[in-house]
A and B are shown apart, each in its own frame.
Chain A
Amino acid sequence: MSFIQVNNVWQQYGDHVVLEGLNLSIAEGEFCTLVGTSGCGKSTFLRLLLGQERASRGEILLDGQPLAAEPDPSRGVVFQRYSVFPHLSALDNVALGLELPRAPLLGRLFGQRKRAAREQAAALLHKVGLGHALDKYPAQLSGGMQQRLAIAQALIMKPRVLLLDEPFGALDPGIRKDMHALLLDLWRETRLTVFMVTHDLSEGFSLGTRLMVFDKVRVDPHAPYAYGARITYDLPLNSKRSEAQAALATSLASALQPILGLTP
């Protein structure tokens, strides 16, 4: 059964059609990269998945249920900019995700629970290579380190879906390589379903297990907004990696079955 099901989704603002007739079925654990020219609707599609906007027509199902119409902890997100809170240290930026849901009244934890949250956040920051910068404010971090922080912040929530909107667009090529390695490591470990919008075609090819190209099929030069973009190519990629992942998942499941009594 597919994890995310997109059924005939259209998105339009007034007369401006951005997306038309999207149909997709995405399995859990896929790493989808979304490419296309600027303004072709790939970021719009990401906003639909995030719940920041609602589709004009059609529906998106997550695990068979309609997607929540506003952002929630089930879907993590990393933007190109403004992903981290400038007034909090790196540690607090990550610990915030543990504090907010557990302290509905004050939005912060105290004492033992606060220490536990901070320890958990520190462990994750060590993992993404920010162990030396726990007390630094985002403005004191480089662009690459800020994005590492943003990824850690999203992952602390253990979301089922991670949405990345050109997360490495503003980084140097060398730093970008490091970030790719980090992201793939984390993806393998967490078995997240990832959607990543990128301008960089090679990034899209090298990272994804599935590459989707957004483009307009029909263009009317007299009414440039009359038709929206569709997914013109939907390519399975890096099949070895996804097979390896699937094999791992199956073997894990069968190994656990006697213990947990699950059916694979």
Chain B
Amino acid sequence: MHLINRHPDRPTRLLLVILPFALLLCAYFFGSAQRLADNPNDKLLPSAVQMTDAVKRMAFSEDKRSGGYVLWQDTASSLRRLAIGLGVSAVVGLCLGIAAGTLPLFGAPLSPLLVVLSMVPPLAILPILFIVFGLGELSKVMLIVIGITPILARDLEQRAREIPVELLIKAQTLGASTWALILRVVLPQLLPRLLISLRLVLGSAWLFLIAAEAIASEDGLGYRIFLVRRYLAMDVILPYVVWITLLAWLMDWGLKQLTRRAFPWYEGARS
């Protein structure tokens, strides 16, 4: 049978899903055990026990200096910045995308501008953000906003253009003004697409967040990783990376579920 026609059945599929993760873990712990056997003070590949100790220290015991639980404080600060950044970007991106994609008079000046703006490397203007907005929360949120808004806006502009012109004409024959047409036809059709775009830019948003935290911050997941790097504390860094990955995956999954629940018509309409 040709490879292209062979499909895994349910148990095989489950096995195939788990296999690469299991292999990665095995490879890691095998390497870790080897290095620790050679040198018990090795810091590069900490064992499961060392990492568990680090997690206990960071997440479940009070920090002597601040009196809080470091991992949870970091998580709360990072998620707050991320949520504000994503929220602002979503609203601004949606407005720009609809304006540029639906109204030709707005699209003419906006589209080329958005193309150029989306080419500016956000990290290159991070110093400008620190100079203009100071070292506080605002500059970190602004980095996320500046980094992903043009991408969202361009994607939504494209989706708005893909709405068949027949539908826009039909709405006008039903007595819609431009405003009502945007509100009742364009906006609802773009909302599920916005959630999908958000999932796609989630990775970039985390990148900008951690970059901003690494450079100027007093807490946050990215801040912590770059702080403990000085002591080669891989036993803290690795669980933090796993935690960030888990958070990002959960957000992605949550957005996917939200798309399906809130817009049941969307899957059917695409096919």
- Where the two chains meet, the residues of A that have a C-beta atom closer than 8 Å to any C-beta of B are 50, 52, 70-73, 75-77, 79, 81-88, 96-97, 99-101, 103-108, 137-140, 153-154, 157, 159
B177 touches A104 (CB 8 A): yes
B173 touches A73 (CB 8 A): yes
18 contacts between A and B (CB under 8 A): A50-B169, A71-B169, A71-B173, A77-B173, A79-B170, A82-B164, A83-B166, A83-B170, A87-B265, A87-B266, A88-B265, A100-B171, A100-B175, A100-B180, A104-B180, A107-B176, A107-B179, A154-B173
14 additional contacts, CB 8 Å, given A100-B184, A139-B265?
Answer: A71-B173, A73-B174, A82-B170, A86-B265, A86-B269, A100-B176, A105-B179, A106-B180, A106-B183, A107-B184, A140-B268, A154-B173, A157-B174, A159-B173
With the chains together, A253 CA to B175 CA distance in Å? 30
Q: What is the size, in residues, of chain B's interface with A at 8 Å between Cβ atoms?
A: 27
A-B contact count (CB 8 A): 92
A97 touches B177 (CB 8 A): no
A72 touches B172 (CB 8 A): yes
Asked whether any CB of chain A lies closer than 8 Å to the CB of B271, the reply is: yes
**Nearest Cβ on chain B to A253's Cβ, whole angstroms:** 28
CB-defined contacts of B185 to chain A, threshold 8 Å: 85
With the chains together, A57 CA to B32 CA distance in Å? 82
CB-defined contacts of A105 to chain B, threshold 8 Å: 179
CB-defined contacts of A84 to chain B, threshold 8 Å: 170
CB-defined contacts of B173 to chain A, threshold 8 Å: 50, 71-73, 75-77, 154, 157, 159
CB-defined contacts of B60 to chain A, threshold 8 Å: none
How does the 8 Å CB contact mask read for B259-271 relative to A, with 1 for contact and 0 for none? 0000111101101
CB-defined contacts of B169 to chain A, threshold 8 Å: 50, 52, 71, 77
**Nearest Cβ on chain B to A103's Cβ, whole angstroms:** 7
With the chains together, A100 CA to B181 CA distance in Å? 8
CB-defined contacts of A52 to chain B, threshold 8 Å: 169
Given contacts A50-B169, A77-B170, A82-B167, contact A139 B175 (CB under 8 A): no
* In-complex Cβ contact of A137 among B175, B181, B265 (8 A): B265
A139 touches B269 (CB 8 A): yes
With the chains together, A154 CA to B266 CA distance in Å? 24
Q: Which of A104, A105, A107, A138 has the most CB of B within 10 A?
A: A107
Asked whether any CB of chain A lies closer than 8 Å to the CB of B136, the reply is: no
B183 touches A107 (CB 8 A): yes
CB-defined contacts of A107 to chain B, threshold 8 Å: 176, 179-181, 183-184
**Nearest Cβ on chain A to B229's Cβ, whole angstroms:** 48
CB-defined contacts of A108 to chain B, threshold 8 Å: 184
With the chains together, A62 CA to B181 CA distance in Å? 26
Q: Which of B188, B264, B265, B268 has the most CB of A within 10 A?
A: B265
Given contacts A96-B184, A100-B184, A107-B183, contact A79 B166 (CB under 8 A): yes
CB-defined contacts of A72 to chain B, threshold 8 Å: 172-173, 175
Q: Which of A82, A85, A88, A139 has the most CB of B within 10 A?
A: A85
